[in-house]
Amino acid sequence: MQWVTTTQILDDLKFSDNSVAWKTFTDHFYPVILAFAKNMGLSSADAEDATQETIIQFLRLYRDNRFQREKGHLSHWIFGVARNVIRDFIKKRPKEYSVPDSCTRTSFWGSVPDEKAILHTWMTEWQRVILSRCLSRVRCEVDEKTYRAFNMYALEQQPVKAVCEELDMTPNAVYIAKNRVLTKMRELKRCYDE
């Protein structure tokens, strides 16, 4: 997997119909938007449609110079586009979705999360994807034993003694492996959204 920052993606998309740039952008943001749409209550089919519509609207608005880097992160701006597209999908639902539910006595609007909950859902998905990509990248950049020690100790939460025995390492070497991977992940996370 090639490591690409959002700045690089934006530069490639600005005036180009480059299919590689377009694929990089969709690989970068599609999973986040799709998971967000599903978490907002859209069916799988509607979530796919809303994700595609979000990406198309983003590109149109971006090429119209509507995104200004100095006003915030790209992920926040895409969140706004996705939120509006998803709301439009929800509004287009058949009327039976907006009548009170006889079991719970709540209407559709009573089940719609507030702005704070919506933003939390987006940020949770965004962080999950970033951490997953950072972890994949770090795995390529550190040696196998270092990554295995980190995985066993930090992710699988195995006792340090078990990790030492399995990998023939000292406790100090396990702690160093964990710190090395976490430091690299923090560096990658910082540049991911630059």
Question: What residues does each domain of the chain span?
Answer: 6-141, 143-194
Q: Is the C-alpha dihedral spanning 47, 51, 53, 58 positive or negative?
A: positive
Contact 1, 133 (CB under 8 A): yes
Mean pLDDT for the chain overall: 82
Reply yes or no on whether the pLDDT at 144 is more than 70. Answer: yes
- Percent of the chain with pLDDT strictly greater than 70: 81
Q: How confident is the model at residue 124 (pLDDT cuts 50, 70, 90)?
A: confident
pTM over 0.85: no
Reply yes or no on whether the pLDDT at 99 is more than 60. Answer: no
Contact 130, 189 (CB under 8 A): yes
Which of the residue ranges 45-54, 118-127, 133-142 would you say has the lowest mean pLDDT?
118-127
Alpha carbons 194 and 58: distance in angstroms, whole number: 18
pLDDT of the residue at 1: 47
Reply yes or no on whether the pLDDT at 61 is more than 50. Answer: yes
Q: How confident is the model at residue 155 (pLDDT cuts 50, 70, 90)?
A: very high
Residues in contact with 27: Cβ distance below 8 Å, sequence separation at least 6, in sequence order: none
Phi, psi for residue 170 in degrees, rounded to 5: -85, 160
pLDDT tens for 174-183 read 999 999 999 9
Residues in contact with 52: Cβ distance below 8 Å, sequence separation at least 6, in sequence order: none
Cα 3 from chain centre: 15
Phi, psi for residue 168 in degrees, rounded to 5: 55, 55
Contact 24, 12 (CB under 8 A): yes
Among candidate residues 73, 82, 96, the one with its CA nearest the CA of residue 39: 82
Is residue 157 helix, strand or coil?
coil
